[in-house]
Structure 1
Amino acid sequence: MTYRLYVQPEQSREDTGPDPAGLAFNWVLLDAGGDVQAHGEADSRETIEQTLAQNALEHVALYALVPGDEVIFCLADIPAKQARFIRQALPFAVEEQLAQEVESMHLALGSKGETGYRVAAVDRRTMAGWTAVFSNWEHVRLVAMYADASLLPVQGREWVICLGAETALVSSGRGEWLRMAAANLEMFMHTLAMPQEDEVKAEVRVALYGTEDVLNQHVALEGVLASDSTLNYSQETLEVSPVELLAHAHYQHLCDPINLCEGEFAVNGGRRSALRPWRPLIAVACTWFVLQVALEIGTGIYQQQQAERLEDQAMAVYQEFFPSDRRTHAGNVRRVVGGQLRQLDATGQSADFLSLIKYAGQQYASLPGKERVSFNSINYTQSRGELVMDLRADNFDKLSALRNGLVQKGLEADIGSVVNEPSGARGRLTVSGG
């Protein structure tokens, strides 16, 4: 069920100083059917919040009714139809009706009538002050802010007056409103019967609202209204507070007020997101997610670079041993090498005389200091597939290097009968297939 809370300050903010805590409010709480559930006069904000808490009410729609004398009614004759162009032309259309610089005013656009768009203008600092007063209340959500006099029930009448002990709220059928001292109302009455320049009226319908005590206090005013034959005067005694009259008029759509919460002072459609309390946690989670994704992407790029580097190294080794192979690449080198190894396992390394001599000659040609290595004799035994070479070198390291090179080619090589002499070393190198 949607509840509506209408709150009207008893006095302006200037009367209480800069501290909004000194404000007192007249208020009424309506349920979804428009029935009054609670009300009060001259109560503090804390009292209203406590009443809502006692009734376990949350997210109540708050309608703030600010003093009408702080909000100026204007008419803007703008031929444009698109909202963007209307907003752009609005300051120029009303600046002649304002007593201060239009740049210092907050303009709220209302409905369009026969004479143009209805506009509410309020000083920006004043609007900011009222926004601060009605923001961050417990259990409520600010929906709209209106000039209080603009909520009078004016349908079917030219003027409506709500009389208070010291002030009077006045509204016309054209949508304009006034808030004035009740003592000045009698002088204002004489202007009500005067028709507009382009109008001829036999009578002007005027409705006067007030509590019995207030009406008795202003008996002279009633006499002024009744004595003017051009005024079709009716009086209605209020059995409720003025703020309840305004609340019922708004609930029953008997008025067309202008919501001041527009532009820079707009509220979130009167709704507070259910995720609002979780926003800090969501922000932390989003930050963590972004960092995690960035870390994963960075790790993936690094690993991809490492894989490409290892592939390049593998191909370099393969090309060293198989320089004439142009069909093998990083994508199939593993399969090609695996096939070659399986073939070698099946057939063994070639162990004929020419193959062994070729391998031995290649290792001898690449041996550092090969000029200090000499062959005394070379013998080949076909039955065993062994090549036996008697070698002499200036040191044993060269013989060992020759043997290691043959082993790395997949052959079996062994040095025997090693004899160390003053001039070097000699030994017998036996080589066979792997």
Structure 2
Amino acid sequence: MKERLFIRISSDERSLQWGTLLDAEEGSHAFADSGSLLLEDAETLGEVIDQHQVILLLPAHRVKCFNETTPTKNRKQLEKAIPYQLEEQILDSVENQHFALGSFDAQERLAINVVDKVYFEETLVLLKEAGVEPDYVVSEAACVPYFSDSWSVVIEDQVLVRQEDNIFWSADKPLVEELLKLELQSNELSVTQAVRVYTVEGETLKLEAVPGLATQQEALGDSFLFLAQNFDSGAINLLQQEFASQKKTQRNYGVWKLPAIAASLLLLLGLAYLVSNIIYLNKQRSELEQQTLAETKKIYPGQEDLTVALIQINRGFSSIGGDSGSGVSFAGLMDKSIKAMDTKNIEFTQIEYIASRGELSMDVSAESYDILTGSQRSLESSGLEVSMRNASENGGVWTARITVGLSK
């Protein structure tokens, strides 16, 4: 079972709480291990890290949430467009804000969380120096339970409020009552709004007097444990884009280090094999070009360049009124034959072009008859007329004469 380390930074940002929880311990009454630290002593956290999945809860007042209708669902385009779409709703410069994107809801609105870049980067650096790299970073208010039929409120030093999946906020207790009244007015509710109120022992806030609210009270022993138990990995993870976590990649590399080394060795061996085959095929090509050039010299004795010779032959066919098939016979047959045949396993001992019949005759050898017949089938599949004669075996080597011509 995977053990999770939860870290919650306090609302005054001077201290933090931490606690470890097994996946199977949902609903348990306590963390397996827990503690509190001043933020300046965060390096102590490195002592409790042991392949944990780390979830960092930021103070809710640091994370703003928005739900926006967008003209596209392309993530890359949204990453560039959203900051400017929200520009008028954010007091600070959008250049100084980090915009994390969530999913689209039933109303086709995109969930967005926004956090100050400098604060976010400084927090991550502080933890990294302590040997802690989070897998998830979310607002603490995103861990308040969400219900489709009611709002949720957690009352402690600061009050956490969650109205929808991606509408949550926090405020000082004296302000909460007025803020809830404003929310009720802005939503223009015609029915009473249900609210589940979770109260930490020793904290009080009377919401029953707020018109339009129907409250259901529940006592909490440990609000941090309560938030940890209600963490949802589907919440918007602030570790996106330039802040995307590299931890998973690093961890996976550690797990697969030996297989990766073995795979690297196999890759090197494969590359060496490929290079050797390329060298061999280049040698074969050179030999074929020399044999082809020898045949073309019978027509153009002074020609030393194969490409020029092929052009001359093609022009020669055209000048005597040959059709398009004749004009490309020699060059076309050579090209198609080399591409279709298994030149890796076949050696060419002689190549002859029979101009009167428009045929290319090749004396070849291979280690097996199957290699020869395989090349014959490949040539036929490429649209050539093929015949193979005089196939025989001598000392474990098969020889034959393969003749190819353009299909009539």
Normalised to the residue count of structure 2, the TM-score between the two structures is 0.57
In the TM superposition, what whole-angstrom CA distance separates every residue of 1:309-335 from its partner, at most 9, and x where no partner exists?
Answer: xxxxxxxxxxxxxxxxxxxxxxxxxxx
The structure 2 residue matched to 1:173, chosen from 161, 164, 187, is: 164
SS of residue paired to 1:178: strand
- 1:28/1:183 CA distance change after superposition, 3 Å: farther
- 2:98 aligned with 1:106, yes or no? yes
Q: Is the 8 A contact 2:45 2:130 kept in 1?
A: no
The structure 2 residue matched to 1:29, chosen from 21, 24, 42, is: 21
Q: Which runs of 4+ in 1 moved over 4 A?
A: 46-49, 276-279
The structure 2 residue matched to 1:265, chosen from 240, 243, 258, is: 243
Aligned to 1:212: 201
Amino acid at match of 2:10: E
CA distance in 2, matches of 1:4, 1:242: 17
Shift in Å at residue 174 of structure 1?
4.8
Amino acid at match of 1:125: V
- 2:143 aligned with 1:162, yes or no? no
In the TM superposition, what whole-angstrom CA distance separates every residue of 1:269-306 from its partner, at most 9, and x where no partner exists?
Answer: 74533545979x98xx99xx99xx9xx99xx9xxxxxx
CA distance in 2, matches of 1:69, 1:228: 23
- Between Structure 1 and Structure 2, how many residues are aligned? 280
Shift in Å at residue 214 of structure 1?
1.4
Shift in Å at residue 249 of structure 1?
1.2
SS of residue paired to 1:155: coil
Q: Is the 8 A contact 1:74 1:119 kept in 2?
A: yes
Amino acid at match of 1:264: E
- 1:274/1:118 CA distance change after superposition, 3 Å: closer
In the TM superposition, what whole-angstrom CA distance separates every residue of 1:153-212 from its partner, at most 9, and x where no partner exists?
Answer: 0213442221113x121221252121222232233232243252xx54311111221222
Q: Is the 8 A contact 1:73 1:177 kept in 2?
A: yes
Percent of matched pairs sharing the same residue: 21
Unpaired runs of 5+ residues, structure 2, are 280-408
SS of residue paired to 2:251: coil
Q: Is the 8 A contact 2:148 2:164 kept in 1?
A: yes
Matches within 5 A, 1:272-311: 272-275=250-253
Q: Is the 8 A contact 1:142 1:270 kept in 2?
A: no
Q: Is the 8 A contact 1:4 1:62 kept in 2?
A: yes
Aligned to 1:250: 231
Unpaired runs of 5+ residues, structure 1, are 16-22, 53-57, 216-220, 301-434
- 1:79/1:185 CA distance change after superposition, 3 Å: same
Larger CA deviation: 32-41 vs 146-155: 32-41
- 2:83 aligned with 1:91, yes or no? yes
Shift in Å at residue 106 of structure 1?
0.9
Aligned to 1:189: 180
Amino acid at match of 1:237: A
- 2:72 aligned with 1:80, yes or no? yes
CA RMSD of aligned residues (A): 4.3
Normalised to the residue count of structure 1, the TM-score between the two structures is 0.54
Q: Is the 8 A contact 2:66 2:166 kept in 1?
A: no
CA distance in 2, matches of 1:135, 1:67: 19
CA distance in 1, matches of 2:67, 2:181: 23
CA distance in 2, matches of 1:130, 1:77: 31
Matches within 5 A, 1:233-248: 233-239=215-221, 241-248=222-229
